[in-house]
């Protein structure tokens, strides 16, 4: 058995302290599984307003949660704000300063703690500067001599792009503002620099790792990613079944398992009542728990409402673009008792929706991995998904002996057709329950993926550090 690793894990959101999407879930559950295997992990994230650390000093807050040490980087001016990144879809204007501060400070604190990491694992653009500073400011620091950096892309469409005028705030020589560094069409691109300076890179599904090397889904970085293809992997996210299991779930009305699947419908009846939907087992109840942004296919759902609400009810839980919210509010009035719109981030309600729904819809235009469909399996709510990214890797169509309903085109009619097929099966109770029992047994826990991360870490450690810039 090879030695256990010291891992500094850096993420701008980690459940249960901060979460706006899958990054929060994945950050915690990956670390938790690394620790279960005996690795020593410390987590570094900003000290946001809602976080109440167990201890605090002027540099950072500290908490221990489920055996993992959390260090919350402190800067009240930057992080004591209501939201993590901005208001609605409008980013805070000083995000470059906020996150470059966090990145520099994280490396300093790692050093001050005398925690020598073999691996620094950064996630998405907010943390990418950590891997850059490691190979610039700290290049000749003996403390980090044996450290290798890993960078995970959770969503390539967010890159941390800023005007060139802000470059001085990074505290880096001008020479790194070039095509082999930060420069991206005349602007600063933090994610791009992260890709170039890291020793290993991965994204969160094998299909997405291939898609982002092509123009359509590469968001202008396909060339950089191709260049780094030798160190780029696709590792599927897992689900934390301690949090997401209907037999243990504290938030749902009635717990159930595949052996007591008949109890699932009590969740449906209760939630229908509580959300003012028409009550009844006969309604085909669809759920959607998602950020309401273009990526997630909200336009497809909106364009399909008339068709799908002839057969089904739909609960939407999400926040996002104001324009979608407005259109959906109008639709809710148009379809009383059939459409329930919940424009908020609500962890407890999310659990209830997964448990109550007959099927979950995930019609994304692109999807790095997607957690909704994996959670949906566990709750016996077959996912209706578009075949892209991680959805393509995890959902096989019922017609091909899979556990969901898959459509391929980016079009409402293609989506409606998949919903109709699901509905037809729903009416055949024997076949439907057989499907639910089957998908509830699927295993998307972290067990397999965590070993792939460790393999990636060890590969990075076996190579010399990346020279970039």
Binding site for ligand ADP (CB under 6 A): 21-23, 25, 289-291, 317-319, 345-347, 350, 369-372
- Tokens read off for 435: 């499907």
User: Any idea what the Cα angle at residue 291 is, between residues 285 and 293, rounded to 5°?
Assistant: 110
- How many other C-beta atoms lie within 10 A of the C-beta of residue 282? 7
Closest to ligand ADP by CB, 134 vs 316, is: 316
Q: What's the rounded Cα separation, in Å, for the pair 126 and 160? A: 7
Q: Are 318 and 407 in contact (CB under 8 A)?
A: no
Q: Are 445 and 156 in contact (CB under 8 A)?
A: no
Count the alpha carbons within 13 Å of 378 in the hemisphere toward its beta carbon: 23
For the chain, what is the radius of gyration of the CA atoms?
A: 23
Closest contact distance (angstroms) between CB of 296 and ligand ADP is 7
Q: What's the rounded Cα separation, in Å, for the pair 117 and 135? A: 15
Closest to ligand ADP by CB, 110 vs 236, is: 236
Instruction: Determine how β-strand 405-407 pairs with β-strand 383-386.
Output: parallel
Closest contact distance (angstroms) between CB of 154 and ligand ADP is 7
Nearest residue to ligand ADP on Cβ basis? 22
Q: What's the rounded Cα separation, in Å, for the pair 272 and 253? A: 12
Cα dihedral 135, 237, 154, 202, rounded to 10, equals: 40
Closest contact distance (angstroms) between CB of 348 and ligand ADP is 8
Closest to ligand ADP by CB, 289 vs 305, is: 289
Closest to ligand ADP by CB, 313 vs 372, is: 372
φ, ψ of residue 279 in degrees (nearest 5): -95, 135
Closest to ligand ADP by CB, 297 vs 412, is: 297
Closest contact distance (angstroms) between CB of 368 and ligand ADP is 7
Q: What's the rounded Cα separation, in Å, for the pair 377 and 360? A: 9
Closest contact distance (angstroms) between CB of 1 and ligand ADP is 33
Query: How far are the Cα atoms of 42, 190, 204 from residue 194, in angstroms, in the given order?
Result: 21, 6, 16
Closest contact distance (angstroms) between CB of 295 and ligand ADP is 7
Q: Are 338 and 277 in contact (CB under 8 A)?
A: yes
Closest to ligand ADP by CB, 109 vs 339, is: 339
Closest contact distance (angstroms) between CB of 367 and ligand ADP is 7
Q: What's the rounded Cα separation, in Å, for the pair 332 and 311? A: 16
Closest contact distance (angstroms) between CB of 328 and ligand ADP is 13
Closest to ligand ADP by CB, 106 vs 372, is: 372
Q: What's the rounded Cα separation, in Å, for the pair 306 and 5? A: 54
Closest to ligand ADP by CB, 200 vs 374, is: 374
- Tokens read off for 113: 């703690």
Q: Tokens 């109440």 — which residue?
A: 52
| Those residues with Cβ within 8 angstroms of residue 216's Cβ, 6 or more apart along the chain or in another chain | none
Closest contact distance (angstroms) between CB of 389 and ligand ADP is 10
Closest contact distance (angstroms) between CB of 173 and ligand ADP is 35
Closest to ligand ADP by CB, 335 vs 345, is: 345
Closest to ligand ADP by CB, 210 vs 291, is: 291
């Amino acid at each position: 058995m090879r030695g256990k690793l010291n891992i500094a894990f850096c993420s701008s959101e980690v459940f249960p302290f901060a979460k706006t999407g899958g990054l929060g879930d994945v950050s915690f559950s990956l670390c938790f599984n690394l620790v279960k295997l005996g690795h020593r992990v410390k987590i570094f994230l900003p000290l946001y307003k809602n976080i109440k650390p167990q201890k605090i000093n002027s540099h950072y807050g500290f908490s221990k949660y489920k055996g993992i040490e959390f260090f919350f980087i402190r800067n009240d001016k930057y992080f004591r704000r209501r939201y993590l990144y901005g208001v609605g879809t409008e980013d805070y204007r000083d995000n470059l300063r906020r996150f470059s501060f966090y990145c520099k400070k994280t490396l300093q604190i790692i050093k001050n703690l005398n925690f020598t990491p073999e691996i620094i694992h950064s996630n998405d653009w907010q943390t990418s500067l950590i891997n850059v500073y490691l190979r610039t400011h700290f290049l000749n620091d003996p403390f980090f001599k044996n450290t290798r950096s890993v960078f995970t892309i959770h969503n390539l469409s967010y890159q941390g792009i800023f005007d060139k005028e802000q470059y001085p705030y990074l505290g880096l020589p001008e020479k790194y503002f070039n095509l082999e560094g930060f420069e991206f069409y005349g602007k600063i691109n933090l994610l791009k620099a992260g890709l170039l300076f890291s020793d290993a890179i991965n994204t969160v599904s094998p299909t997405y790792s291939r898609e982002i090397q092509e123009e359509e889904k590469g968001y202008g970085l396909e060339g950089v990613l191709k260049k780094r293809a030798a160190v780029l992997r696709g590792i599927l996210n897992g689900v934390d079944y301690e949090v997401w299991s209907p037999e243990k779930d504290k938030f749902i009305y009635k717990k159930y398992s595949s052996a007591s699947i008949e109890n699932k419908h009590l969740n449906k009846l209760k939630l229908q009542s509580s959300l003012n939907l028409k009550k009844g087992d006969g309604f085909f109840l669809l759920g959607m728990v998602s950020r309401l942004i273009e990526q997630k296919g909200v336009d497809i759902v909106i364009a399909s409402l008339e068709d799908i609400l002839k057969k089904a009810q739909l609960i939407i839980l999400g926040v996002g673009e104001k324009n979608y919210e407005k259109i959906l509010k109008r639709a809710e009035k148009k379809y009383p008792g059939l459409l329930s719109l919940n424009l908020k981030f609500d962890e407890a309600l999310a659990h209830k929706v997964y448990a109550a729904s007959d099927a979950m819809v995930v019609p994304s235009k692109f999807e790095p991995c997607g957690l909704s469909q994996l959670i949906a399996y566990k709750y016996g709510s077959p996912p209706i998904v578009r075949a892209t990214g991680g959805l393509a890797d995890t959902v096989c169509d019922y017609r091909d002996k899979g556990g969901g309903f898959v459509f391929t085109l980016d079009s409402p009619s293609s989506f409606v057709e998949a919903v109709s097929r699901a509905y037809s099966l729903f009416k055949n109770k024997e076949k439907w329950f057989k499907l639910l029992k089957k998908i509830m047994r699927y295993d998307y826990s972290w067990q397999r993926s965590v070993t792939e991360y460790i393999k990636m870490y060890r590969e990075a450690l076996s190579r010399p550090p990346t020279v970039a810039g």
